[in-house]
Structure 1
Amino acid sequence: MIPKSSIGIELDTTESIETSRTYKLLDNKIQGYIDELEAVRQAIYKVLNTEKYEYPIYSFNYGIELESLIGKDPVYVQIELKRRVQECLLQDERIKSVDNFKFEINGDKLLCTFDVTSIYGDLTITKEVTI
């Protein structure tokens, strides 16, 4: 026999962003706590300095793939670097946009500068890669 009564279930479907409070890393040591914009800056630094697929402690979604760009045409590297930076940073729910990319080539180095808009404010980030 199949019951004919209904069960009332209420689900909370509101999403909330977890706190951004985290440990402050300075000179490879934990130096207290940071939150909001400085925590986002540190998260960006960490993800852009972690080679994707390199460390088993991180999921395959964490980090950025830069080693495969070494030796490639500088125009290709600029286009691909922009895509890869946006892809890895926009996974963070605190980051709303990554744009205004500027590139500067100096020998075998490419200096990439871009703006990050987060829920806590704006940042300008610089990343140097070997080409």
Structure 2
Amino acid sequence: MGFLPQGTDTDLNINITKINTISSKSYRMKIADEKIVGSIDELEAIAQACYKILNTERYQYAIYSWNYGIELQDLFGKSVPYVYSELPRRISEALLQDDRIQSVDDFELSYNKGNVLAKFTVKTNLGNIEMDKEVNII
């Protein structure tokens, strides 16, 4: 015997935590057509959220918190080596504000005619997204 705990029900401390997963369902932006049509969910919704974050200048719009968006305006006029060192950090910091994003990796940077192009992988809880962001520096 002695296999069962002895005592009363009040002696047991049991904490049950229920985790609710919030849907990532959002409206679908058709960027080229400048329309909003239908809805999207999961990885496609995360990719669209990344697009929106990387195309919203941080601190510029009162409707967004100061944690939303990216700081790119001050890169205009800076040297290519400086932009190469700053851009991956700024992209990562901006995207990692979204708790669905685990990391931003595999940066490839290139320069062409006044523009720096960053290609990178966004690793999420639902899969990976290949993205790029171009910044005009002159």
Q: TM-score range by the shorter chain?
A: 0.7 to 0.9
- The amino acid that maps onto 1:110 is V
Which consecutive unaligned segments of at least 5 residues does structure 1 have?
1-9
**In the alignment, is residue 86 of structure 1 matched against residue 97 of structure 2?**
no
Partner residue in 2 for 1:55: 61
C-alpha RMSD of the superposition: 1.6
Partner of residue 133, structure 2 = 127
Structure 1's 70 and 14: CA in aligned 2 closer, same or farther, altered over 3 A? Answer: farther
Q: 1:67 to 1:12 in 2, by over 3 A?
A: farther
Name structure 2 gaps, 5 residues minimum. Answer: 1-13
Normalization by structure 1: what TM-score?
Answer: 0.87
- Identify which of 68, 71, 74 aligns with 1:68: 74
Q: Percent identity?
A: 50
Question: Cα gap change, 1:89/1:12 in structure 2, threshold over 3 Å: closer, same or farther?
Answer: farther
Measured in 1, the distance between the counterparts of 2:63 and 2:16 equals 32
Contact 1:36/1:120 (CA < 8 Å) preserved in 2? yes
List 4+ stretches of structure 1 deviating above 3 A: 10-17
Shift of 1:11: 7.5
The answer to whether the 8 Å contact 1:17/1:93 transfers is no
Give the greater-gyration-radius structure (CA): 2
Quote the Cα distance in structure 1 between the aligned partners of 2:19 and 2:74.
37
How many residues were matched structurally?
A: 122
TM-score normalised according to structure 2 size: 0.82
Contact map agreement 1:40 1:94 (CA 8 A) in 2 = yes
